[in-house]
Amino acid sequence: MRRFLVDRASIENVNVVQQEAELEPPPNVVNEFNPNEIETNELSNILQRKDLNIVNAMELVDVVKARLGTMRESGWNNFFADVQGFCVAKSILVPNMDDEIPVRGRSRAEGRTITNLHHYRAEIFYVAIDKICVEMDHRFSEGSNIILDCFSCLDPKNSFSKFDVDKLARLADIYHADFSDDDRGTIRDQLETYVLQVRRNASFSTCEDVQSLAMKMVQTEKHLVFPLVYKLIELALILPVSTASVERAFSAMKIIKSKLRNKINDVWFNDLMVCYTEREIFKSLDDIDIIRTFTAKKSRKGHLPRNFI
């Protein structure tokens, strides 16, 4: 909300003030503090990462919600002190919070007024935080939180302290298309055997997240011994791809499939999408190596210059 109190009052009431000459225009107030920016920057950054750790994301969502709730209940005084400090530094006039102003949306003939304190705290500060909370509840609905909570049980930290057979077995019902009836009937036994074995295996004590757990499963060939558990780990790893990365992919589609390329076939389109979305990887490749690899696939009429061979 460091963007909610410079020129807020004057912006909201400028038309009314021009029409009602007898009223003094309200003084400038600070519009340079954004609680959304403060509380959710870390969450936004981690959700945009391709290597998103599902456990960290789940924990951060809960922390951000708690901090927003605390800020709404008892954060106004500190927030207003920061705003006043900003105003003094920028030579911005801060109104007297006890002064009364007309109620917005009501006829002035009624003579109803409210204080500046009520306007900026109840009608702006609280409303802004409430909107952020509503948006977070929409983005992280109960169903999404259940899935994230279940996947967080795969966290290998502290000797798999969060491991919960019931929650992980529930994922097999949620992703019913990936698990057969036989799989759903045997996954509990496999999970119980799996957690006992990895807790006794010292090599798994070095795992810090789901990514490192998947790598260790392959290195020790446990993915062959516990295929259903490994499938859950795979689902946990591809889950981030179905959030932020998909939005990037749709943005890339609009850039690649333009009006001039509206008849491009699916195979060529998919190849271009991979090159565009993973452009940082392709930038690190040597063009000469790409040309040599392409040329070596089959004989061609044209020949490369000697310096390419």
As a whole number, mean pLDDT of residues 285-302 equals 79
Has residue 268 been placed in a domain? yes
Tell me how many domains the chain contains: 3
Range of the domain at 127: 35-140
pLDDT classification of 215: cutoffs 50, 70, 90? very high
Has residue 307 been placed in a domain? no
Has residue 228 been placed in a domain? yes
User: Residue 307 and residue 184: Cα distance in Å, rounded?
Assistant: 59
User: Do 46 and 119 fall into the same domain?
Assistant: yes
Q: Which residues contact 145 (CB under 8 A, 6 or more apart)?
A: 58, 61
pTM here is: 0.52
Query: CA 102 → CA 8, 105, 109, 116, 303, distances in Å?
Result: 15, 9, 10, 10, 82
User: Do 173 and 94 fall into the same domain?
Assistant: no
As a whole number, mean pLDDT of residues 256-277 equals 84
pLDDT at 27 over 60: no
φ/ψ of 177, rounded to 5, equals -70, -20
User: Do 46 and 127 fall into the same domain?
Assistant: yes
pLDDT at 22 over 90: no
User: Do 56 and 135 fall into the same domain?
Assistant: yes
As a whole number, mean pLDDT of residues 290-297 equals 80
User: Do 45 and 103 fall into the same domain?
Assistant: yes
**Rounded-to-10 torsion of CA 290, 293, 299, 302:** 20
Query: Taking each helix axis from N to C terminus, what angle separates 227-238 and 210-219, rounded to the nearest 10 degrees?
Result: 140
Task: Name the least confident of 45-54, 151-160, 281-290.
Answer: 45-54
Q: Which residues contact 199 (CB under 8 A, 6 or more apart)?
A: 159, 160
pLDDT at 241 over 50: no
